[in-house]
Structure 1
Amino acid sequence: MPDLAQPLDAVHRRIEQAARDARRDPGSVKLLAVSKTFPAEDVRAAHAAGQRAFGENYVQEALDKIEALADLRADLEWHFIGPLQSNKTRPVAEQFDWVHSVDRLKIAQRLAEQRPAHLPPLSVCLQVNVSGEATKAGVAPDEVAALAHAIAALPSLRLRGLMSIPEPAANLAAQREPHRLLRTLFEQLRADGLALDTLSMGMSGDLEAAVLEGATIVRIGTAIFGTRDYSH
């Protein structure tokens, strides 16, 4: 089992420094360790080093890990952060605590219908395509308000906020722009009466820019677990 205490500590130091630069409480930024493509033993190692929240992109891979780590289930928080097809919503509704990648009302409706009654409401974020990339998932910025209000009215779900995956940018100023757009949309929704508390934005390469623009969850994989191997 790998020792992940050092990389986790390094990421926490980056978060703390960025929060201080933004004059924010470092405790207002949650670290989501993105464990996609890494084995369950790496999640166990991160847990041993103090990490509790983990993000997964692929449904079957995630379900296998959740089963392999069943002994830790009460102490882990599972976040689904990848594209979600309508035929895969049931296991996500049953096994996950959060879904960050809701971009269609149909997906939200299925999650709401399939969330087991004995579980607390499923926390969801609305994924926004802030860069306007044709190949990227997410709702267009001008469609966010209508979809957010529709999702907020569904039972068994709790709309927490917004998520984005902007295209890479070369410098801090350019990295901040799409995060600023997401924050502006977030603030507009709150002004419209939605009780939102989450901005899920920022990854290993743009963590600082995201925290400066108000991220409350940063999704970090490579900086914790290392380079991913997609060959399998």
Structure 2
Amino acid sequence: MTDAATRLANIRSSIVRSAKAARRDPGDVTLVAVTKQRNPEEIQPLITAGVTDFGENRVAEAANKWPLLRSVHPTIKLHMIGRLQSNKAAEAVELFDVIHSLDRQSLLKGLVAAGEHARRFPEVYVQVNIGAEEQKGGLPIADLPVFLDEVRASPLPLAGLMAMPPLGVEPGPYFALLAELARRHGVKGLSMGMSSDYATAVMLGATVVRVGSALFED
């Protein structure tokens, strides 16, 4: 096995253990391999090992490397996990199957307009600013009910909620809060958990974990 494949196997095993400890079906958790700043040669071993979901932070970087990879591997599902500028909505709709960072009305309108033009509507996660951090993207918790209604009234399929806890603190309470918000508002998907805390996220209900450095670095 390649180093990437070995790390992937270890992460998958950790997801299974965490899911079973929480009495969940491990099959309900999707691993998104985050490949920002990774080249096709680094990505290929993960594809060979069976990864089908990949995440990128920037539209321009994804546009440079994924069309060719997807022409060879058409079953790949591409996720936009970074902050998305409204003026990049059209490119994002063309490139991505899932967008995890919908957090404002201007972006919602841009994605809807782009989707109508392209006749293609990516699934969306509403990003919540779970730690109320001024420097971080995401919708304030208080604005979530109205915004979810607006998303549900649009042609964009609502996949769930996404959040990133503040750095340097125990993530569990923030994951639990996002799960509670999802239950309260009738949302099933939870995109939460990264390389350092995905096991905790799975324990607390994550349906998608976004793992990058743990796949590529020892």
Normalising to structure 2: TM-score of the pair? 0.94
Query: Is the CA contact (8 Å cut-off) linking 2:70 and 2:76 kept in structure 1?
Result: no
1:215 corresponds to 2:206: yes
1:72-83 alignment to 2 at 5 Å?
72-83=72-83
What SS does the aligned partner of 1:94 have?
A: helix
Q: Percent identity, aligned pairs only?
A: 36
Query: Is the CA contact (8 Å cut-off) linking 1:66 and 1:73 kept in structure 2?
Result: no
1:41-190 alignment to 2 at 5 Å?
41-115=41-115, 121-155=121-155, 157-169=156-168, 174-190=170-186
AA matched with 1:72: V
Deviations 1:101-134, CA, capped at 9 Å, x for gaps: 0000111111111126675531000000111111
1:225 corresponds to 2:196: no
AA matched with 2:171: Q
Deviations 1:39-80, CA, capped at 9 Å, x for gaps: 122222210111010000011001111123142352210000
What SS does the aligned partner of 1:115 have?
A: helix
Once residues 17 and 223 of structure 1 are traced to their aligned partners in structure 2, the CA distance between those partners, rounded to angstroms, is 17
Once residues 163 and 219 of structure 1 are traced to their aligned partners in structure 2, the CA distance between those partners, rounded to angstroms, is 11
Once residues 104 and 72 of structure 1 are traced to their aligned partners in structure 2, the CA distance between those partners, rounded to angstroms, is 35
Query: Is the CA contact (8 Å cut-off) linking 1:94 and 1:116 kept in structure 2?
Result: no
AA matched with 2:188: D
AA matched with 2:199: E
Query: Is the CA contact (8 Å cut-off) linking 2:87 and 2:110 kept in structure 1?
Result: no
Once residues 73 and 114 of structure 1 are traced to their aligned partners in structure 2, the CA distance between those partners, rounded to angstroms, is 25
Which residue does 2:9 correspond to in 1?
Answer: 9
Q: CA RMSD in A?
A: 1.6
What SS does the aligned partner of 1:139 have?
A: coil
AA matched with 1:176: G
What SS does the aligned partner of 1:138 have?
A: coil
Query: Is the CA contact (8 Å cut-off) linking 1:183 and 1:214 kept in structure 2?
Result: yes
Normalising to structure 1: TM-score of the pair? 0.88
Once residues 23 and 168 of structure 1 are traced to their aligned partners in structure 2, the CA distance between those partners, rounded to angstroms, is 28
Once residues 119 and 217 of structure 2 are traced to their aligned partners in structure 1, the CA distance between those partners, rounded to angstroms, is 34
AA matched with 1:165: M
Once residues 168 and 210 of structure 1 are traced to their aligned partners in structure 2, the CA distance between those partners, rounded to angstroms, is 15
Query: Is the CA contact (8 Å cut-off) linking 2:57 and 2:80 kept in structure 1?
Result: yes
Query: Is the CA contact (8 Å cut-off) linking 1:105 and 1:151 kept in structure 2?
Result: no
Structure 2 unaligned blocks of 5 or more = none
Moved more, 202-211 or 161-170: 161-170
